[in-house]
């Protein structure tokens, strides 16, 4: 049996750290798992990634199509084949990010975003989605270093989305919260303001239950 898990959250929620920690635990349990990251994961997707994270002016709808283009390639070339081979696939962001960022954040019609998500993925949605929830000012404090941690505020390449005003990030956070409430069977909300090790323990307890439910066991 395969299992498809996405990790979602606003900028600075710690998704990449948690995705790496989850992969370490999956591998230590002898489970054949693959980690991918949106946008990216294919040659085409990596080029799109540079474009969307850069400063080239674009309309919200053009931006949505870019994310969908990268997603379509990733689903076709990487995610579907891995699931067909009965692997566990963990993705750092997926279609829900487009609903939260381009829908709630940029104000695009949610039905349009969902329709394009469906076209890009062929309707493939994760079995489970872990939402790393943290207030945007807390999360952006991490990103920008205003909380005293090593941030990225003096980085001249600080990225387009991280430079959006706090109101944008509040709308994105509200979007993720709304999605989680609408589909409680798929979403698992984890408080991401705690220490990374504590967050990782919570994520692992969710994922290990899912593995059991899907009849997946490791070879160690």
Query: Which positions lie near ligand TYD, rule CB under 6 A?
Result: 11, 15-16, 38-39, 53, 67, 93, 97-98, 101-102, 161
Min separation Cβ 220 and ligand TYD, Å: 30
Distances (CA, A) of 69 to 74, 83, 95, 99, 139: 9, 20, 12, 15, 28
Min separation Cβ 106 and ligand TYD, Å: 8
Sheet bearing 128-133, strands edge to edge: 33-37, 88-92, 3-8, 128-133, 187-191
Q: How many CB atoms lie within 10 A of CB 71?
A: 28
* Residue with Cβ nearer ligand TYD (15 or 87): 15
* Residue with Cβ nearer ligand TYD (88 or 140): 140
Min separation Cβ 75 and ligand TYD, Å: 12
Min separation Cβ 8 and ligand TYD, Å: 9
Unique residue bearing structure tokens 């239950």: 209
* Residue with Cβ nearer ligand TYD (105 or 188): 105
Q: How many residues does the chain have?
A: 220
The stretches of the chain forming alpha helices (DSSP H) are 15-28, 43-53, 60-74, 80-84, 95-98, 110-121, 136-144, 166-182, 196-213
Q: Is the peptide bond before 39 cis (omega within 30 degrees of 0)?
A: yes
* Residue with Cβ nearer ligand TYD (98 or 216): 98
Min separation Cβ 204 and ligand TYD, Å: 20
* Residue with Cβ nearer ligand TYD (171 or 202): 171
């Amino acid at each position: 049996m395969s299992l498809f898990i996405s990790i979602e959250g606003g900028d600075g929620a710690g998704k990449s750290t948690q995705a790496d920690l989850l992969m370490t635990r999956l591998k230590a349990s002898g489970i054949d798992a693959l980690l991918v990251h949106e946008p990216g994961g294919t040659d085409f997707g990596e080029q799109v990634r540079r474009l969307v994270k850069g400063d080239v002016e674009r309309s919200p709808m053009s931006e949505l199509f870019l994310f969908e283009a990268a997603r379509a390639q990733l689903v076709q070339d990487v995610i579907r084949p891995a699931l067909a081979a009965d692997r566990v696939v963990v993705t750092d962001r997926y279609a829900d990010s487009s609903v939260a960022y381009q829908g709630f954040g940029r104000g695009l019609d949610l039905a349009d975003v969902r329709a394009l998500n469906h076209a890009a993925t062929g309707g493939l949605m994760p079995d489970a989605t872990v939402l790393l929830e943290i207030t945007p000012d807390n999360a952006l404090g991490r990103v920008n270093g205003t909380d005293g941690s090593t941030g990225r505020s003096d980085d001249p390449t600080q990225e387009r989305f991280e430079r959006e005003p706090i109101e944008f990030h509040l709308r994105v956070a509200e979007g993720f919260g709304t999605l989680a409430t609408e589909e409680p069977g798929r979403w698992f909300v984890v408080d991401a303001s705690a220490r990374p090790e504590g967050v990782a323990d919570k994520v692992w307890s969710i994922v290990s239950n899912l593995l059991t439910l899907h009849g997946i066991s490791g070879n160690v």
